[in-house]
Every structure is written in C-alpha cells, then in structure tokens.
C-alpha cells in the first residue's frame, strides 16, 4: 500500500453488509470469520515485508514487532494486541470498517484507541489499495504504538485534530500526521530509517524512500511541513526526517496555533518543492515522478 487517502475520502467507509457500525464506528473484528485465504494473504504480506525491513525500519519498529503477538501465520487478534499494548503504553486497537470520519478518528486517538480496518486487501491489490486495511493498520502502525513518544504524539494529534477543525486548519495538521506517522523517516546512528506506517507496510515504498535518487529527503520542520501538500496516489516526492522519536514528544508541548497562522499566511508548497532554508539529506533528482508524467 502506498498511501491511504485522507480527508478526500472520509465518510465513505460503508460498513460491511450485515455488520452495522456503532456510533463511534467500531465493529467487532470478527476474528473467527477470517477465511484461510485471508490468513494466507496476511502471511504473504507479512513474510515479504519482514524480510525487507531489517536495516530499513528503525530499531523501535523492529522491537515493537518482536514484543507483540503478531506473526506470519494468522491475522492478529485485536484483543491480544490490546492486552500487550495496554500494559506498555495504555493504547488499545479497535476494529472499524475502513476510513472513518475525521472527528470520529480524532476522538478515538484522543482516548488512546487506534481504529484499525478489520478487512484484508485482495490478492490482486497486494501493493496498493486506497483504504487502510488490517495489514497497513496493524503491521504498520501498531508496533510503533509500543513506543511511548509515538503513543503520546498520536494521542496529541487526536486532541489537536478536534481543535484544528474548529480553527479551520485541519489540512495543515493532517500534513504533519502524513509526513510523520505515515511517511516519516528518522536519523539513526547508521543512517536514515523508516518509522512511518505508510512506508513500513509498503513493499515498494520501503525501498523507494531510502534507495531511490528521486525523492527529496529534508530535515523535518513543523511549519514547513504544514505548508506542504502530499501525494495520496503514488510515492512521496519528499520525505521529512526527524532526529529521533523523542523529537515528536517536543511537538506535543508546542502551541500549534501561531504555527498554523504563519503556515496559512505563507505560500503553499507542492510535494516536490524545496526552499532555500531546507536542510537536505538528499536533493532528489525527481526522475521517478518525471517519468510517470511523461
Ligand atoms: N480513518 N480508519 C481511518 N484511518 C485513518 O488514518 C484516517 C481515518 N479517517 C480520517 C483520517 N485518517 C484523516 O482524514 C485524518 O488523519 C485527518
Ligand atoms: Fe495509516
């Protein structure tokens, strides 16, 4: 999966027939109802991604995965995940049919509940699908929720989301989530590593984001990122790099209101744009997206 569309598609998630969502859009995971074919799809995805990620995903991701009841043989049971997560960082995983409306999503996160799609992609969509499924949400997001800094940052995003809606700057906040929790890179002793779930759950992007000469890799800056559009339909043209996960904790202590104001008053940036003040790990040559347009 390359990405999941964000605000553009919210509210479209139709509950699976015969399984009405509750007011908070949660449903029963229905773990007993997964077919052998669905568990097999999970296994295919799990095995190829687990082979790829050592040396690419950050240490915290690998450790989180180790400490959780997530394995190749079956789609994880959200109750078992929640038992472990709750003890570590106070988070739970709840099942939803797919994308949920923004305010519903924020309300869950603000209460340390991570809404995870209960369905799994079909065998012909292994590399790309639009809605977040159980592989993206559980394999990509849940290991990172074992980390205390990510745990607090995502909760703060939920709280901030409710506020950003009132202030009319939800797009600016959503870009911060996108370029951190979904597509973030961080600096490790031995080079850049993946911590974003959109990358960690993507076979193709977990190689592209680190190895391709095409994208920019830019030192993360909150206001800069708030101004930057992102792609939901293809690899990112720019990735933003944080120092370490604790940098995210600093953001939970910052008042976003003045940053929103400055971001709203400044020129919006296209995904591939660079600014003179950017600190670059790599200036991308743009070759990938240029070839796609041609
Ligand atoms: N719903 N299930 C789910 N997962 C998301 O990542 C998600 C969502 N609804 C809204 C949403 N993301 C975004 O629009 C917000 O982060 C802005
Ligand atoms: Fe996600």
Please report whether residue 112 resides in a domain. yes
Residue 252 lies in a domain: yes
Residue 132: inside a domain: yes
CATH number at 13 reads 1.10.800.10
**Residue nearest ligand 1's atom 15 by CA:** 102
Mutation choice for ligand 1 from 93, 105, 114, 169, CB with most ligand atoms inside 8 A: 105
Full residue range of the structural domain in which residue 239 is found: 7-293
In this structure, is residue 1 part of a structural domain?
A: no
pLDDT for position 108 = 98
Domain count along the chain = 1
- What is the ipTM, given to two decimal places? 0.98
pLDDT greater than 50 at residue 291: yes
Atom 7 in ligand 1: which residue has the minimum CA distance? 99
Q: Which of 196, 110, 227, 100 is nearest to 160 (CA)?
A: 110
Residues 6 or more apart whose Cβ sits within 8 Å of residue 290: none
pTM higher than 0.80:
yes
Q: Identify the band that residue 20 occupies on the pLDDT scale cut at 50, 70 and 90.
A: low
Domain annotation covers residue 2: no
Handedness of CA 198, 204, 209, 215 (dihedral sign): negative
For residue 280, being part of any structural domain is answered with: yes
- Residues 202-212, mean pLDDT to the nearest whole number: 97
């Amino acid at each position: 999966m390359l990405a999941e569309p964000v605000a553009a598609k919210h509210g479209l998630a139709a509950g699976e027939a015969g399984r009405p969502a509750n007011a908070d859009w949660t449903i029963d995971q229905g773990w007993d109802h997964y077919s052998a074919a669905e568990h097999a799809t999970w296994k295919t995805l799990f095995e190829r991604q687990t082979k790829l990620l050592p040396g690419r995903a950050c240490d915290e991701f690998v450790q989180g995965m180790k400490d959780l009841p997530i394995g190749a043989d079956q789609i994880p049971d959200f109750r078992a995940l929640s038992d472990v997560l709750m003890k570590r960082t106070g988070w739970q995983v709840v099942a939803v049919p797919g994308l949920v409306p923004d305010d519903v999503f924020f309300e869950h996160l603000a209460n340390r509940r991570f809404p995870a799609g209960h369905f799994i992609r079909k065998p012909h969509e292994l590399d790309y699908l639009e809605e977040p499924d159980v592989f993206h949400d559980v394999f990509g997001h849940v290991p990172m929720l074992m980390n205390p800094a990510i745990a607090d940052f995502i909760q703060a995003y939920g709280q901030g989301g409710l506020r950003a809606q009132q202030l009319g700057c939800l797009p600016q906040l959503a870009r911060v989530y996108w370029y951190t929790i979904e597509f973030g890179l961080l600096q490790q002793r031995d080079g850049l590593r993946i911590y974003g779930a959109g990358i960690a759950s993507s076979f193709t992007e977990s190689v592209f984001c680190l190895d391709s000469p095409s994208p920019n890799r830019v030192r993360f800056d909150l206001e800069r990122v708030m101004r930057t559009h992102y792609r939901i339909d293809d690899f990112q043209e720019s990735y933003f790099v944080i120092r370490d996960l604790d940098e995210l904790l600093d953001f939970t202590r910052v008042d976003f209101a003045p940053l929103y104001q400055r971001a709203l008053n400044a020129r919006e940036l296209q995904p591939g744009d660079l600014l003179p003040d950017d600190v670059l790990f790599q200036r991308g040559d743009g070759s990938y997206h240029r070839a796609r347009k041609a």
